[in-house]
Structure 1
Amino acid sequence: MAASKPPATVRRTLDMPDLRALETFVAVCDASSMVLAAERLGLSQSAVSQAIKSLEEDLELQLLDREVRPARPTHAGRVLHEAAARLLSQARATMDHVRATARQELAQIRLGCVDSFAATVGPPLIRAMSGKARQIQMWSGLTPTLTEQMLSRELDMVICTETSVQDPRVAQRLLFSESWVAVYPRDHPLPPPGAPRDLAASAGHLPLIRYSQRSVTGQQIDRYLRHLGVQAPRCYEFDATDPLLSLVASGLGWALSTPLCLWQSRHHLDAVRVVALPPSRLSQRHFFLLAREGEWAGLDDEVARVTREVIRHDTAPSIRRCLPALPETTLSCPDETPP
């Protein structure tokens, strides 16, 4: 068997042009001087000379005739000068187009929100953002679906209640928090104010009406009940607040919910009693804004700021007027450190 031949040395080819080197070469040709070209480009004369030399090595052609003073482009240099000038013009036009398109896209937001947020904070948020974004497209749904849509770039930003997103490019910032509250039928007897409150005992014979396990809210409430040691059989479960609250209003059970969820279905509030719960480690749910770092030129910061303003000056006061027995801390925004 014949011995195999060693692999031939592969000559490095110029797969893609070095635009900076081409810009340097065009500047030298236009200025008819390496010194003037270096001044115009803000480079040293040696950097300019090295860029021209690298181009000649890549092309295996002499581009400048250095025997004359000042150096003049050879025939190959004249061909390259003409082609490079066109290429650089196209490259600049491409960059301008990308910048213009990006600025236009920054004025359009595909915002995904959990249902309770979209139905309550969503309208005033859109009104407040109307002068900052040309168009806001709002999706609503469950947190797991929304986060998947963001990671697949179907959504630009997401406002959700809990997330396990591990992508380091996605920033997660706390917007506001709200505490769980117990909801009973209007005529259901409760212990007098100030008496120790036991959820199971307060409910009496009423079954617990739950948010489903498909929703993050349902999973969080189940953790909270386990934390309190409350065991309640699974009877009725819903993804949304409206059917859940309608059963409570009809006297068919009791539920745990939040001020924002109740505000979403406030047409039922006259038929229920809402009771604040003692604070504990798992007594709150938190809302977060998810957005990719560095892609929104501060528009994500503006969404966060406006959301907190809407909560403080619109949503929270409206809920307190309707449910004055709830403490102010039931719906609250974090303290913001000034920039």
Structure 2
Amino acid sequence: MDEHRSLHDLLSLRELEIFVAFGETGSISAASRRSGISQSAASQLIQRLEHRMCLTLLDRSARPLRLTLDGHDVMRRAENLLTEAKQFVNRFDEVGLSRSVFLRMGVVETLCLPFIPKLVEALGNRLDRLSVMVGSSNMQREAFLERRIDVMIMSDSMDDLDELKRHLVAEEPFILIVPRGRVVNDIADLRSLAAELPMIRFGHRSAARLNIDAQLKRTKVPIIRDIEIDTPHAVIGMVAAGLGWTITTPLSARSSWQDPEDVELLPFPGAQFRRKLYLATRRNELGNLPEELARHTKNILREHYLSGIAEKQQWLASEIRIPE
């Protein structure tokens, strides 16, 4: 290869981005959706990269397509190169405190209102545009990997994802919510309640749901009947109507209850188990914006969630930890 050719002739970051998107998603169509271009354009860019490098990167005889040995090597090196390129850009084009941004964000369903309006209010002129996806941690993970969102607020630390920057924004206990007047002092009482009324479940794909199911199994509370509902407000409404009981967290309940006097919020009668909420972004991206978002998030949780809980359930507010 001619050593006098320009770097522009030897390397295209856009082609590398599309190629890495293919390697991470496993398909040309998913890579094109992530990158906001047509499938044919994505395919052409990968072919141009192969021509530029004089390598075959995709095994086109396989169904589905897969990386060749050279493809795996280029994938690994391209990921490092793209990270370095982003660090370079961020150093000279950092998202400073006075600069407005386009923010693509994922938020867990139970932290929707009043969180989103209060965050928009706190950011003020910092936002040129805001896109919010409300969904489970699993949904956010998928969107994050496909680069459809840049910031996540979720209950899964996602320790298996490299280059993820996490900010712990809250830690809270799981609690029992039962119809008004019901008393649950111990696991035996909970077993009796579960035998009498169905458990009202929310978030079949959520990390919290897995945590709850595991705790019920450990404490040997059999769920004979259950009802699954996709909206947290409806879950609390079913309990308030005396039609079942549920397990959730204080912050989730605070965003869902119409009138906390309609239900009983009780400590889980067995060993306490807790949920952590994280704000996460890709490491070395978005400049100082992640720290700003984490700060606003914690302030909103203190002022508009924790204070409301403290007014009605002081014992519960004392169990919630929001880092400084």
Aligned 8 A contact 1:246 1:268 in 2: no
CA shift for structure 1 position 176: 0.4
Q: Does 1:141 align with 2:135?
A: yes
The DSSP-based 3-state class of the residue aligned with 2:302 is helix
Letter in 2 for 1:208: M
Q: Does 1:323 align with 2:306?
A: no
Match of 1:232 among 206, 213, 223: 223
Aligned 8 A contact 2:237 2:257 in 1: no
Letter in 1 for 2:306: A
Q: Does 1:267 align with 2:261?
A: no
Going from structure 1 to structure 2, the CA distance change for 1:233 and 1:212 (only over 3 Å counts) comes to farther
Structure 1 match to 2:248: 257
CA shift for structure 1 position 149: 0.8
CA shift for structure 1 position 146: 1.1
Which sits farther off after the overlay, 99-108 or 292-301?
Answer: 99-108
Aligned 8 A contact 2:309 2:316 in 1: no
Structure 1 match to 2:204: 213
CA shift for structure 1 position 256: 0.8
Separation in structure 2 between the aligned mates of residue 154 and residue 267 of structure 1, nearest angstrom: 33
Match of 2:179 among 156, 181, 185: 185
Which sits farther off after the overlay, 120-129 or 175-184?
Answer: 120-129
Structure 2 match to 1:68: none
Separation in structure 2 between the aligned mates of residue 102 and residue 259 of structure 1, nearest angstrom: 34
Separation in structure 1 between the aligned mates of residue 7 and residue 122 of structure 2, nearest angstrom: 48
Aligned 8 A contact 1:175 1:307 in 2: yes
Percent of pairs with identical residues: 23
CA shift for structure 1 position 203: 5.2
Structure 1 match to 2:69: none
Separation in structure 2 between the aligned mates of residue 279 and residue 307 of structure 1, nearest angstrom: 31
CA shift for structure 1 position 164: 3.0
Question: What is the aligned length?
Answer: 242
The DSSP-based 3-state class of the residue aligned with 2:223 is coil
The unaligned stretches of length 5 or more in structure 2 are 9-87
The DSSP-based 3-state class of the residue aligned with 2:196 is coil
Structure 1 match to 2:291: 301
Across the aligned residues of Structure 1 and Structure 2, the Cα RMSD in angstroms comes to 3.0
Separation in structure 2 between the aligned mates of residue 264 and residue 173 of structure 1, nearest angstrom: 21
Aligned 8 A contact 1:143 1:163 in 2: no
Separation in structure 2 between the aligned mates of residue 329 and residue 200 of structure 1, nearest angstrom: 27
CA-to-partner distance for each residue in 1:128-162, whole Å, 9 max, x for gaps?
Answer: 12244443332211211111111111111010111
Separation in structure 2 between the aligned mates of residue 278 and residue 115 of structure 1, nearest angstrom: 26
Structure 2 match to 1:61: none
Separation in structure 1 between the aligned mates of residue 152 and residue 267 of structure 2, nearest angstrom: 29
Q: Does 1:171 align with 2:162?
A: no
Separation in structure 1 between the aligned mates of residue 289 and residue 203 of structure 2, nearest angstrom: 34
CA shift for structure 1 position 331: 2.3
CA shift for structure 1 position 261: 1.9
Aligned 8 A contact 2:179 2:262 in 1: yes
Aligned 8 A contact 1:143 1:216 in 2: yes
Q: Does 1:289 align with 2:279?
A: yes
Structure 2 match to 1:124: 118
The DSSP-based 3-state class of the residue aligned with 1:327 is helix
CA shift for structure 1 position 318: 0.9
The unaligned stretches of length 5 or more in structure 1 are 1-10, 19-94
Counterparts of 1:41-120 in structure 2, within 5 Å, are: 107-120=101-114
Separation in structure 2 between the aligned mates of residue 209 and residue 295 of structure 1, nearest angstrom: 40
CA-to-partner distance for each residue in 1:153-205, whole Å, 9 max, x for gaps?
Answer: 111101011143633222122110121111111143x15xxx55642245562
Higher Cα Rg: structure 1 or 2? 1
Letter in 2 for 1:317: S
The DSSP-based 3-state class of the residue aligned with 1:217 is helix
Aligned 8 A contact 1:120 1:263 in 2: no
Aligned 8 A contact 1:214 1:239 in 2: no
Separation in structure 2 between the aligned mates of residue 147 and residue 105 of structure 1, nearest angstrom: 27
CA shift for structure 1 position 302: 0.8
CA shift for structure 1 position 298: 0.8
The DSSP-based 3-state class of the residue aligned with 2:318 is helix
TM-score, with normalisation over the residues of structure 2? 0.66
CA-to-partner distance for each residue in 1:211-259, whole Å, 9 max, x for gaps?
Answer: 2532322222111212322221242112321222222111111111111
